[in-house]
Amino acid sequence: MRERSRPSAARASGAPAIVSLDLVCCAAAGRHLAVLVRSGGRASAMMLPWTALDPATAIDAAAARFAREQLGRAPVWIAQVGASGDGRRHPSGASLSVCYVAVLPAGTPAPDGMEWVAAPDLTGLASRQQAMVPAAVAALRDRMDIAPIAFRMLAPEFTLSELQQVYELLLGRRLHKASFRRALQGAYLVEPTDSWRSEGRGRPAQLFRYAPRKRRGVRRSVRFELLG
């Protein structure tokens, strides 16, 4: 089990780290989803931020605190992806790793010692961490229709085109503009502001903010389409 540079928190007690807590921090960046990696000195030694899990602390709280420490600020959203532990390598040598996915607004600068890498370009991680990235992205995609993840990836005031781009990013496919806006309108999730933003060429876009209004619980119909 090889070891290179590791975060100072790891194995501080001298006891071997049994369980690691790993973080996939995501932000929208143009057409890609960017992930924060710690580049340990050389470019080839990239790793996701991780720490040894303190058995005395609640794990969700530990993840939130670790994210705040690493980012210098609280993420706008965080959730557990899952636990993984098998033959694949982890920088810590931990036999078990619990992965969390955190979301930051687009344009957040990378903290010292870290950098944003587009998710598809992210290679060369230890194999267990490598597998966490698609799992974290899938977790985002799966939960974006029950939590306002896409909205949190934007500044508090945003254009509907920006929002649509985030949805297209996470879903991995293009959406139809009119249909997207109609669905959004019907959900009473945003309210217009008085501001407009002119960005280069075309007509200025109106700015909106996330302001969900209470609605009676809508129950979706049974979907067999993805089964099989």
Among 3, 171, 191, 197, binds a second copy (CB under 8 A): 171
Residue 118, CA distances (Å) to 92, 168, 189 in order? 24, 15, 29
Report the helix count and the strand count for the chain, using DSSP H and E: 5, 10
11: contact with DNA by CB under 7 A: no
- Would you count residue 18 as binding a second copy (CB under 8 A)? yes
**Residue choice 111, 184, 206, 209 for contact with a second copy (CB under 8 A):** 184
Comparing CB distances to DNA, the nearer of 4 and 177 is: 177
For residue 132, give every residue at least 6 positions away whose Cβ sits within 8 Å of its Cβ, in sequence order, or none.
22, 24, 48, 81, 84, 97, 99
CA distances from 78 to 24, 50, 168 (A): 10, 15, 21
Q: Which is nearer to DNA, 87 or 200 (CB)?
A: 200
State which residue, 80 or 206, has the beta carbon closest to DNA. Answer: 206
| Greatest pairwise CA separation for the chain in angstroms | 61
Under the criterion CB under 7 A, does residue 204 sit at the interface with DNA? Answer: yes
Angstrom CA distances, 206 to 78, 160, 195, stand at: 29, 8, 6
Contact 82, 3 (CB under 8 A): no
Site for a second copy in 125-154 (CB under 8 A): 142, 145-148
Binding pattern for the stretch 113-152 against DNA, x by CB under 7 A and - elsewhere: ----------------------------------------
Look-up of token digits 């996701």: 48
Strand partners, 78: 102
As given in the structure block, the two tokens for residue 33 are 């989803």
Specify the residue, 39 or 193, whose C-beta has the smaller distance to DNA: 193
Q: Which residues bind DNA (CB under 7 A)?
A: 159-161, 176-179, 181-183, 186, 196, 198-206, 219, 221, 223
Q: Which residues bind a second copy (CB under 8 A)?
A: 18-19, 53, 55-56, 58-61, 80, 82-87, 95-96, 98, 142, 145-148, 167, 171, 173, 175, 179-180, 183-184, 186-189, 212-215, 218-228
